[in-house]
A = this chain, B = another copy of it.
Amino acid sequence: MNVQEKAIAVREASRVLYTASTAKKNALLRKIASLLKENQDDIIAANTKDLESAREAGLSKVLLDRLTLNEQRIKQMIAGVRDVITLPDPVGEIISKVKRPNGLVIERMRVPLGAIGIIYEARPNVTIDAAVLCLKAGNAVLLRGGSEAINANAALVSILKLALEQTGFPPSCVEFIDSTDRSAVTEMLKQDRYIDVIIPRGSQSLIRFVAEQSTIPVIVHGEGNCHVYVDRTANLATAEEIVFNAKVQRPSVCNAAEKLLVHSAIAEKFLPRIARRLRSASVELRGDEAVRNILADVVPVTEEDWYREYLDLIIAIKIVPSLEEAIRHINTYGSHHSDAIVTGTKSAGEKFLREVDSAAVYVNASTRFTDGYEFGLGAEIGISTQKLHARGPMGLVELTSTKYIVHGKGNIRQ
Chain A residues within CB distance 8 Å of chain B: 15, 18-19, 92, 98, 100, 104, 106, 111, 113-114, 196-197, 211-212, 215, 217, 219, 235, 238, 241-242, 244-246, 249, 331, 349, 353-355, 357-366, 368-370, 374-376, 386-389, 391-393, 401-413
Q: How far is the CB of A88 from chain B (nearest CB, A)?
A: 14
Q: Knowing A98-B376, A374-B100, A413-B374 touch, does A402 contact B391 (C-beta < 8 A)?
A: yes
Interface centre among A353, A365, A391 (most CB of B within 10 A): A365
* Complex CA–CA separation, A359 to B401 (angstroms): 10
Q: Which residues of B contact A92 (CB under 8 A)?
A: 354
Q: How far is the CB of A67 from chain B (nearest CB, A)?
A: 26
* Complex CA–CA separation, A392 to B388 (angstroms): 15
- CB nearest neighbor in B for A387: B401
Report whether B19 and A411 are in contact in the complex, using a CB–CB cutoff of 8 Å.
no
- CB nearest neighbor in B for A12: B332
Q: Which residues of B contact A113 (CB under 8 A)?
A: 387-388
Q: Which residues of B contact A15 (CB under 8 A)?
A: 331, 357
Q: Which residues of B contact A331 (CB under 8 A)?
A: 15
Within 8 Å by CB of A413, from B100, B238, B245, B406, lies B245
19 residue pairs from A and B, CB less than 8 Å apart: A15-B331, A15-B357, A18-B357, A104-B369, A245-B412, A249-B412, A349-B407, A357-B403, A362-B408, A363-B408, A364-B409, A364-B411, A365-B408, A365-B410, A368-B413, A369-B413, A388-B388, A391-B404, A392-B403
Q: Knowing A106-B376, A357-B111, A357-B114 touch, does A215 contact B217 (C-beta < 8 A)?
A: no
Report whether B411 and A196 are in contact in the complex, using a CB–CB cutoff of 8 Å.
no
Report whether B217 and A404 are in contact in the complex, using a CB–CB cutoff of 8 Å.
no
Report whether A388 and B215 are in contact in the complex, using a CB–CB cutoff of 8 Å.
no
Report whether A363 and B407 are in contact in the complex, using a CB–CB cutoff of 8 Å.
yes
Within 8 Å by CB of A355, from B18, B211, B349, B413, lies B18
* Complex CA–CA separation, A369 to B406 (angstroms): 9
- CB nearest neighbor in B for A370: B404
* Complex CA–CA separation, A41 to B164 (angstroms): 68
List the 4 closest pairs (A to B, CB-CB), nearest first. A365-B408, A245-B412, A387-B401, A368-B413
Interface centre among A111, A211, A364, A403 (most CB of B within 10 A): A403
Q: Which residues of B contact A241 (CB under 8 A)?
A: 410, 412
Report whether A217 and B413 are in contact in the complex, using a CB–CB cutoff of 8 Å.
no
Q: Knowing A354-B19, A366-B413, A412-B366 touch, does A196 contact B404 (C-beta < 8 A)?
A: no
- CB nearest neighbor in B for A371: B413
Report whether B361 and A411 are in contact in the complex, using a CB–CB cutoff of 8 Å.
no
* Complex CA–CA separation, A368 to B106 (angstroms): 14
* Complex CA–CA separation, A263 to B389 (angstroms): 38
Report whether B404 and A392 are in contact in the complex, using a CB–CB cutoff of 8 Å.
yes
Report whether B355 and A403 are in contact in the complex, using a CB–CB cutoff of 8 Å.
no
Report whether B406 and A361 are in contact in the complex, using a CB–CB cutoff of 8 Å.
yes
Q: Knowing A196-B387, A197-B388, A331-B15 touch, does A410 contact B242 (C-beta < 8 A)?
A: yes
Q: How far is the CB of A117 from chain B (nearest CB, A)?
A: 13
Q: How far is the CB of A349 from chain B (nearest CB, A)?
A: 8
* Complex CA–CA separation, A98 to B353 (angstroms): 17
Report whether A215 and B212 are in contact in the complex, using a CB–CB cutoff of 8 Å.
yes
Report whether A388 and B387 are in contact in the complex, using a CB–CB cutoff of 8 Å.
no
- CB nearest neighbor in B for A349: B407
Q: Which residues of B contact A404 (CB under 8 A)?
A: 359-361, 370, 375, 391-393
* Complex CA–CA separation, A166 to B114 (angstroms): 48
Q: Which residues of B contact A376 (CB under 8 A)?
A: 98, 100, 106
Report whether B361 and A407 are in contact in the complex, using a CB–CB cutoff of 8 Å.
no
* Complex CA–CA separation, A363 to B406 (angstroms): 6
Report whether B361 and A405 are in contact in the complex, using a CB–CB cutoff of 8 Å.
yes
Report whether B353 and A386 are in contact in the complex, using a CB–CB cutoff of 8 Å.
no
Q: How far is the CB of A5 from chain B (nearest CB, A)?
A: 17
